[in-house]
Amino acid sequence: MPVERAPEAVVFDLDGVLVDSFGVMREAFAIAYAEVVGGGPAPFEEYSRHLGRYFPDIMRIMDLPLEMEEPFVRESYQLADRVNVFDGVPELLAGLDRDGVRLAVATGKSGPRARSLLDRLGLLGRFRYVIGSDEIARPKPAPDIVVRALDLLGVPAERALMVGDAVTDLASARGAGVTAVAALWGVDDEAALLAERPDAVLRRPSDLPALWGASGVPALSRSIGSAVPDGKSRA
CA 21 to chain centroid: 12
Q: What is the DSSP track for 88-139?
A: THHHHHHHHHHTT-EEEEE-SS-HHHHHHHHHHTT-GGG-SEEE-GGGSSS-
The Cα–Cα gap between 160 and 87 comes to 24
Instruction: Tell me which residues are annotated as active site.
Output: 13, 15
Instruction: Find residue 9's DSSP bridge partners.
Output: 102, 160
HSE, side-chain direction, 13 A CA sphere, residue 66: 4
Give residues with Cβ within 8 angstroms of 118, minimum separation 6.
14, 18, 105, 124, 127, 130
What number of helices (H) and strands (E) belong to the chain? 10, 8
Q: What is the DSSP track for 183-208?
A: E-TT-S-HHHHHTT--SEEESSGGGG
**Identity of the residue numbered 223:** S
- Residue 191 has phi, psi (to 5 degrees) of -60, -40
